[in-house]
Structure 1
Amino acid sequence: MTATTTTRSGHRTTVAIPTADGGWRDVQIREPREWQHRPGGSTSRVAFAAAHVVADPRGENVPGSPAVVDWDSTLAFRAHLFSYGFGVAEAMDTAQRNMGLDWPAVQELVRRSAEQARDHGARVASGAGTDHATALATLADVREAYLEQVAYVESCGSQVIVMASRQLAALARTPDDYLGVYDAVLSQVREPVILHWLGEAFDPQLRGYWGSPDVDAATATFLDLVRAHADKVDGVKVSLLSADHEIGLRAALPAGVRLYTGDDFNYPELIRGDGTHHSDALLGAFAAIAPAAAAALAALDEGDLATYDTEMAPTLPLSRHVFEAPTWHYKTGIAFLSWLGGHQPGFTMVSGLQSARSAVHLGRLYELANDAQLLPDPDLAAHRLGVWLEGAGIVR
């Protein structure tokens, strides 16, 4: 017997989820919800969803090989996000930067996504880093690598997200080393950018970014940079998974500089705000919960905080599960949910990253998405879960 289920009138009513102790848990399938498309987006918050890439299932997407992308499915997923009013944060860690998405694929992704955003009248902001360069020996090399990617992103008509650089983290010895490189980059950008501070939980190679492993000291350096270039900084995306740190930082930012929350553990309260300050959003979680997040933001636009809280509540356990440690493997959950939701033909990832989460983890992910009514075709999702579990050798 497979892991899926009893049926009634041709439709499954329960799904069996594998548990860590070797047993099973029966989950009642919830009816899909009719989510409202909101292509106009929110009026009270700026919201980007960081999007993943869909691997070509026929491609040689094994570790160490160049990325082979299913462009039709990848762009269709972005159209899905646009339909709920989100801008797309492109070519970031959610799209497997530094985890399999090589520079030629990044270039094509940024170009295609920027063209599509123009067609939809939507926003797109794309990551510019230094990951295309393999032999950076000096801080000047890092600076030039950044400038090359920034120039490419700008040439495509996308807003720039200045990503954290593993190469800079390896070469920098003092806070001034960081400030010197970023000063040069920000002095040459055409339009205000988003600065991305990606924390150690997302990438251990970025430990001590901004010149210190002490978060308070690093924050002081970061704020020095933002204040010196406030006219060139649209906002900062902070992915440290600390609500207290984010609340303190957003209050200290110069006027007009947004804080785009990257806290996939605490985003509802941070976006809601405290009555004085609030966070905008640039979240990988929004790729998984787009319909519910759009409904919540629509309520927030109307000042209906109770409905906002109600809409966000079931998404938070799902997001926290997707991003649980090791957090850098959250991309596997994003792709799995996309497959369950019918947005892509298979559960295959660039660099073979579909193997990065266990069957028990992914089964629980199905359960939480079902709880949140975020599976548009419950029968398809149940079928796909069962097929995947059976292929993994997990049968009841």
Structure 2
Amino acid sequence: MSLELNLPSASGGLEKYQLVSSAAVSTTYEASRERLAFAAAHVVADPLGDNAPGAPAVVDWDHTLAFRRHLWSLGLSVAEAMDTAQRGMGLDWVATQELIRRSAAEAPDGRIAVGVGTDQLGPGVHPLDAVIAAYEEQLAVAEAAGAQPILMASRALCAAAGSPDDYRKVYDRLLGQSSRPVILHWLGSMFDPALEGYWGSDSLDTAADIVVDLINDNAAAVDGIKVSLLDASKEVALRKRLPDGVRLYTGDDFNYPELIKGDGELHSDALLGIFAAIAPAAAAALQALDEGDLATYDALFAPTVPLSRQIFSAPTPYYKTGIAFLAWLNGHQPGFGMVGGLQTGRSLPHLAETFRLADQAGVLTKPELAVHRFRQLLVVGGVDA
């Protein structure tokens, strides 16, 4: 059956678009044998909640948890309460605690890791001891839920730290307290400008030296480090320096296929926001990798890269809008709304291009519904299509 609709074009008009791709294989999968793969999941806003900018988040728990069950059914693990879930951009600490508890209670075989940060602190510069206390409060929530902690990069720590020694003071303290190995988190400033100079240096190479020293001194307490710098060469260089048994989790939403595939000697595991948007394709690609079928792996992932680059294009923090948009198109949530009103973070032409690329990547799993819903969005946007 042919499906088509009028989409906004780059020139400012409308152009007829006919869907070209069948959906990627969508079935249930076992977790990959060859790679650990976390999808950083978004939250679904309650359409009847007052999710205005600055207001406390009102979450649609039924659809939020159903989306996580969808990811688990595909063999993916869930990275919960991360920046994809709008930490620091609409999801407050009260709602975050509830999210961690609810998700961890449903996670199969412990296939969940949760973000531990300092976002309960208000704006401004806080004493380093207050930053440590905030981390400790959140670490206690993660441990009480039975979830693996991800020590998130902290705006408050970046503002408070005067030197690399301050970062070491904080991380050494936390790594010494965690009852299980943690995942460290290096989020580049393109994702959050407030993290510029994280680890105590504006030089990525110097920052990498600091991180490697931290990991070497605490190797037994570190499961791995998630790196989101959108620079494959920097990730590969860091990967080569990690001690045996410490994983590099790619957070590179531009270069993930090559980094996960590896170079024949070393590879990256995955902790990616884009996996929430391309979950069926990612699951199928990882199964192909398990089977040694690199041609299928490449064929499945290749068309998802232009989509990911579109979703994560500047201003990169608003990639969350694209994740929620595709979840809505695919029927995982009833409306295109987000906590904090973040659905306004991308323009209609941007979303139209996201639609095109999602179709070409085979990740519109319900094409008829996707066409119907995008037509509704055009009407709401004032477009007579």
Q: Report the TM-score, using the length of structure 2 for normalisation.
A: 0.97
Three-state SS of the structure 2 residue aligned to 1:20 is coil
Of 54-63 and 141-150, the range deviating more from structure 2: 141-150
* Partner residue of 2:199 out of 210, 225, 243: 210
> 2:12 is matched with which residue?
22
Give structure 1 regions of 4+ aligned residues with deviation exceeding 3 angstroms: 30-34
Verify the 8 A CA contact 1:262 1:282 in the aligned structure 2: yes
> 1:8 is matched with which residue?
none
> 2:178 is matched with which residue?
189
* Partner residue of 1:200 out of 189, 193, 206: 189
Does 1:362 pair with 2:351?
yes
Amino acid at match of 1:222: V
Three-state SS of the structure 2 residue aligned to 1:278 is coil
The separation in 2 between residues aligned to 1:216 and 1:31, in whole angstroms, is 42
Identity, in percent, stands at 59
> 2:327 is matched with which residue?
338
Does 1:95 pair with 2:56?
no
Three-state SS of the structure 1 residue aligned to 2:278 is helix
> 1:5 is matched with which residue?
none
Three-state SS of the structure 2 residue aligned to 1:121 is helix
The separation in 1 between residues aligned to 2:298 and 2:22, in whole angstroms, is 20
Unaligned runs of 5+ in 2: none
* Partner residue of 2:64 out of 49, 70, 74: 74
Amino acid at match of 2:38: F
Deviations 1:140-163 (A, max 9, x none): 111111111101111001100000
Amino acid at match of 1:116: E
* Partner residue of 2:113 out of 125, 129, 136: 125
| TM-fit CA distance, 1:24 | 2.1
Does 1:105 pair with 2:95?
yes
| TM-fit CA distance, 1:217 | 0.8
> 2:42 is matched with which residue?
52
The separation in 2 between residues aligned to 1:13 and 1:104, in whole angstroms, is 43
| TM-fit CA distance, 1:379 | 1.2
> 1:41 is matched with which residue?
31
Verify the 8 A CA contact 1:136 1:142 in the aligned structure 2: no
Amino acid at match of 1:227: N
Unaligned runs of 5+ in 1: 1-10
The separation in 1 between residues aligned to 2:61 and 2:22, in whole angstroms, is 28
Of 166-175 and 15-24, the range deviating more from structure 2: 15-24
The separation in 2 between residues aligned to 1:156 and 1:305, in whole angstroms, is 38
| TM-fit CA distance, 1:136 | 6.1
1:1-396 superposed matches below 5 A = 13-30=3-20, 32-33=22-23, 35-117=25-107, 120-121=108-109, 123-134=111-122, 137-396=126-385
The separation in 1 between residues aligned to 2:365 and 2:252, in whole angstroms, is 26
| TM-fit CA distance, 1:36 | 4.3
Amino acid at match of 1:21: S
The separation in 1 between residues aligned to 2:215 and 2:225, in whole angstroms, is 9
Verify the 8 A CA contact 1:12 1:379 in the aligned structure 2: no
Deviations 1:240-274 (A, max 9, x none): 00000000000100100000000000000000000
| TM-fit CA distance, 1:34 | 6.1
Three-state SS of the structure 2 residue aligned to 1:127 is strand
Aligned residues: 384
Three-state SS of the structure 2 residue aligned to 1:85 is coil
In structure 2, the CA distance between the partners of 1:31 and 1:220, relative to structure 1 (3 Å rule), is closer
Verify the 8 A CA contact 1:31 1:378 in the aligned structure 2: no
| RMSD of aligned Cα (Å) | 1.2
Deviations 1:172-229 (A, max 9, x none): 1111111111100101000000000111000000000000111111111111111111
| TM-fit CA distance, 1:12 | 5.7
